[in-house]
Structure 1
Amino acid sequence: MGNTCPRFCWIWITGRWCRGEGLCDHKIPLDRRFSFGMMPGMLRVFWSLILFLWLAFGAAAQTLGVKGPAEGTDGESLAGEELELTDAEWHVRDVMLAIFYHELGHALIDVMQLPVLGLEEDAADVLSVVMIDRLWDAESSEAKVAAAAQFWAASAAESAEAGYEPAFWGVHSPDERRYFTYLCLYYGGAPEEREALAVEFGLPEDRAVTCPEEFDMAASSWGVFLDELEAAGPGETLVWLGEGEPADYVEAAILEEVEYLNSIWTLPEDVGVRVGPCDEANAFYDPEEKAITMCREMAEYILSSAPGE
C-alpha cells in the first residue's frame, strides 16, 4: 500500500490506483454487469486473457494512425513535419491523448468549480470520450477510442493475471468497465457509422441500446461548459511547462494538443501541462499546483502492452 502520489492519480503499473491523500487502493466497479471482479480468481484471469488476446490479434489490425484535430493536417504535426511512427507508437500517442483529456477533466472541474454528480473519476472518463468525439475527425476519433479500449483490456488482463481483485470501496471503476464506457459513449455518438467498431470490440446489445441516450446526456452535460470555454475565444491559459524542443513523439503530441486547445479556448485560470519522469506509470492533475503531469513511464507502459508488442 506504500506508494504515494498527488491527488487524482490515474493509474499505477501494478493495476492499483492512488487516490485522495496518496493511499493506493484497488479498483471498484459501479455496475457489476461489466466487471470480472465478481468471478472466481482463475475464471477472471481466463476471461481477461481471452479479451486481451482477442483485441491484440483481432482488433489490432485496424488503423491506429492519427490525422490530428479536426482542423489539423493528415499525418503531420502542427509544425508541419510528417510523423514517421510505428503502429505501436501511434497506439501510445492515441492512448496518451485519451489520458490527457481525462486529466484535463479534473482540471476543468477544479478551475471552473463544476458540480460533479457522481464519482469525479467517471466524469473525467466521460469528458475524455466527449473531447475525442468533439475535436477529432471520424477516422482519428475511432482510432483513439480503439486504442483506449485496447489499453484497458490489456490493463485488465495484467491485473487479473497478477491476482488483483477490485476493491469495492475505491473511487475508480475497474478497467473492464472503463473499456465499455469508452465504447458505449463513442458508439452512442453515431450508432450507424460506428456499429462495426462496437461489434468488433464486443459491446453487448443490451448495453448498446442505451448508448445513444448516454452519449447525448454526456455531450450536453459537458457541452455547456466546453461551449463556455470556446465562447471566451483563443487564449494562453493552458501553460506548457516543458523546456526546449519536445524530447520525443509523446511530448510533441501533448504540446501540440496544448497549442490547439489554446487556439480555441480560454480557461478561467491558468493550468500547467508537462511531460516528465515520475518514477511510476502514471498521469495526474495536482489541484494545488494547478498542473497536469503526463509521466513518461506511462507511455513506456502503454508501449509494452500495445497490440503486437
Structure 2
Amino acid sequence: MLRLATLLIACLAASPAAAEFVLNNLRMTLYHEMGHAVIDQADVPLMSTEETAADGFALLLADRLHSDAEMDRIIRDVTLLGRDEAAAEIFDPWAEYMPGAQRTARAICLWYGLAPAHRGDLARALGMPPFVARTCAASARSLRRAWAPVLERLKPSEADSATLRVRGAGKALHLLAPDIDRLNRMIALPRRTPLTVEACGEDNAFYYHYDDRMVICDEMVDALMRGARARR
C-alpha cells in the first residue's frame, strides 16, 4: 500500500484527494470492462444495452469489493467525473450509452439503493431527490437478484488460477494491482483474459469480444490526471 500511495503522489504531484480521484475512476473503469467480459464469456442474457448492464455490474462489484467508506469516496469521484463529461457531451440519440447526466444519476441511484439505510445523506448531497429513494432501492434489489446466480457460477474454486492476467506495465496497472487481485479472488472468468495498458488514440477502455482482451488506454490515465490537477 505504501508503494501504491507513493506512486499515486509521484504520478500526480497533487493532493491525496486528486490521487484518489484518479484511482477510483480507474477502478470503476476496470469493473465496467469486467462486466463486459462476464457478459460475453458467461453468455449473460440482457434486458438492456450491454453498456448499461456493464455499468450496473460495475457498481454491484465495487460494492462487494470495497468498504462503505471507500464506496462513499468512489461515488463522489465517479459523480465528479461524470458531471464534467456530461457538461462537454454532444448528445447522440443512437449512442449505446445513456446520456451522461442520466448515467451519473443512475450510478448515484444504484449506489444508494445497495445500502439505503446509511447512504441517504450523501445521496441527497450528490443531488438525488428524496422521491426516487424507493425506486432506487428496488432497482438495486433487482440488480442483485439478476447478477447473483452469475457471480455464484463464476466463483473461483481452489484449483482455479487467476483469469484476469496483467500483461506489460503502466501506471494504471500498478495502481490497480490490489483491485485486480481482489477481482481474481471473486471471479473466475471462463477464459484467460489479458489486461494491458495501450495507446488507443482516445480516452477510453475496451473489452474485445473477439479475443477476450481487456485494454485501458494510456489516454484515459492522462485525462484523469489532468482532471485531478484541475481540481487543485
Question: CA separation in 1, counterparts of 2:40 and 2:76?
Answer: 29
Displacement after TM superposition at 1:286 (Å): 0.6
Equivalent residue in structure 2 for 1:226, among 121, 132, 151: 151
Change (3 A) 1:274 1:231: closer
Q: Which runs of 4+ in 1 moved over 3 A?
A: 231-234
Which structure 2 residues correspond to residues 202-213 of structure 1 after superposition, within 5 A?
202-213=127-138
Aligned-residue CA RMSD (Å)? 1.8
Partner residue in 2 for 1:112 = 42
- Indicate yes or no: 2:210 matched with 1:288: yes
Determine the structure 2 residue equivalent to 1:272.
194
SS in 1 for 2:154: helix
Larger radius of gyration: 1
Bigger proportion of residues as helix: 2
Residues 117 and 232 from structure 1, CA distance in 2 versus in 1: closer, same or farther, beyond 3 angstroms?
Answer: farther
What is the match of residue 125 of structure 1?
55
1:236 maps to a residue whose letter is A
How many residues were matched structurally? 222
Equivalence for 1:93: 23
* Contact map agreement 1:229 1:265 (CA 8 A) in 2: yes
Cα separation, 2, equivalents of 1:105 and 1:185: 16
* Superposition deviation, residue 300 in structure 1: 1.5
The Cα shift of 1:192 comes to: 2.4
3-state SS, counterpart of residue 143 of structure 1: helix
Percentage of matched positions with identical amino acids:
27
- Deviation per residue, 1:114-165 (Å, 9 max, x gap): 1111111100000011011111111112211211111100101122xxxx2x
SS at match of 1:177: helix
- Alignment check: 8 A CA contact 1:235 1:263 kept: no
| 1:253 to 2:178 alignment | no
Find the residue that maps to 2:207 and give its secondary structure.
Answer: strand
1:50 aligned partner? none
Q: Please tell me the residue identity of whatever aligns with 1:124.
A: A
8 Å contact from structure 2 (residues 4, 174) kept in 1: no
Decide whether aligned partners of structure 1 residues 303 and 82 sit closer, same or farther in structure 2, where only a CA change above 3 A counts: closer
TM-score by length of 1: 0.68
- Distance verdict in 2 for CA 1:157–1:241, change over 3 Å: same
* Residue ranges of structure 2 left out of the alignment (5+ in a row): 10-14
User: Shift of residue 81 of structure 1?
Assistant: 3.5
Aligned to 2:101: 176
1:136 pairs with one of 66, 69, 94: 66
After TM superposition, give the deviation of residue 231 of structure 1 in Å.
Answer: 5.1
